[in-house]
Amino acid sequence: MTNNRTPRGKGSEVHGIFEKIAGYYDRMNFVMTLGRHERWCREVAARLAPPAGGQLLDLATGTGVIALAAARSYPAAAVTGVDFSEEMLNRAKAKPGADAVRWQHADAACLPFENESFDGITEGYLLRNVEDLDGVLREQYRVLKPGGRIVILETCPPSGLVKPVVDWGVRVFVPLLGQVVARDRSSYSYLESSTLAFKSPQHIARILSGLGFKNIGWRKKFFGTNVILWATKPR
């Protein structure tokens, strides 16, 4: 079953940006995180801990870094990587090991899967790019089996004593790197603003709790600008 709904509103703008940056997305992630991005993706997969032979879903799979890490970590599992950007999926499908993942074009706001279809869900940098944060997380709760876990990699607004320095660094260097590395300052100006304007882990945790998730936790990364969150759907 597929879902080819055309993004509208903010979704249309974000879709256009990710179609545009697909060719240099991995390179920019490497540069912006000083090489840490793939390590975080492996940690996301490792925190999933699904049952043997489980069904796993990676949302906003992009170029497939988390999905491929999950496929390597759990070779007996069936991994599905979903994204609304066809260009991102094309990049993912061309990577070594891509045959181990089922790639699907779909919108995270309206997932084309039955209730309680997956034993675990991962996602990378999805939530800051959606219009209805609660609705997208509600969809994940719907398709997750009882006892299943979600693990989220997301940007995080800096806080504490380092906030002024990190704010300045993100505002200046992310668009500059976009210009130097990708020749695309405008797209990375959007990514800079969405990073600084996004919700705190505490806010996401409150939404997850309100939806019914339990055992919620998180760990910040890279001067507090990124975070890995996890939560479990009760049995």
Residue 6 phi/psi, 5-degree rounding, is: -75, 125
Eight-class DSSP state of 225: T
The vertex-102 CA angle with 99 and 107, nearest 5°, equals 140
Task: Count CB atoms within 10 A of the CB of residue 190.
Answer: 17
- 107 carries a ligand binding annotation: yes
Spell out the domains of the chain, with CATH numbers in brackets.
10-15+40-157+199-232 (3.40.50.150)
Distance (Å, whole) CA 20 – CA 87? 8
* Amino acid, res. 87: E
Structure tokens of 62? Answer: 């992009």
- 94 carries a ligand binding annotation: no
DSSP string covering 117-181: -EEEEEEES-GGG-S-HHHHHHHHHHHEEEEEEEEEEEE----GGGHHHHHHHHHHHHHHHHHHH
Task: Count CB atoms within 10 A of the CB of residue 65.
Answer: 25
Q: In what order do the strands lie in the sheet with 144-155?
A: 101-105, 78-83, 55-59, 118-124, 144-155, 226-232, 214-221
* pTM of the shown model: 0.89
- 63 carries a ligand binding annotation: yes
Structure tokens of 141? Answer: 């709760």
3-state secondary structure of 214: strand
Distance (Å, whole) CA 191 – CA 195? 6
pLDDT at position 7 is 47
Task: Determine the length of the chain.
Answer: 235
pLDDT tens-place values along the chain, 235 residues long: 334 444 444 567 788 888 988 888 898 889 888 899 999 999 999 999 999 899 999 999 999 999 999 999 999 999 999 999 999 999 999 999 999 999 999 999 999 999 999 999 999 999 988 989 999 999 999 999 999 999 999 988 877 777 777 777 777 777 777 677 667 766 666 666 676 668 899 999 999 999 999 999 999 998 888 999 999 999 9
Structure tokens of 168? Answer: 């300045």
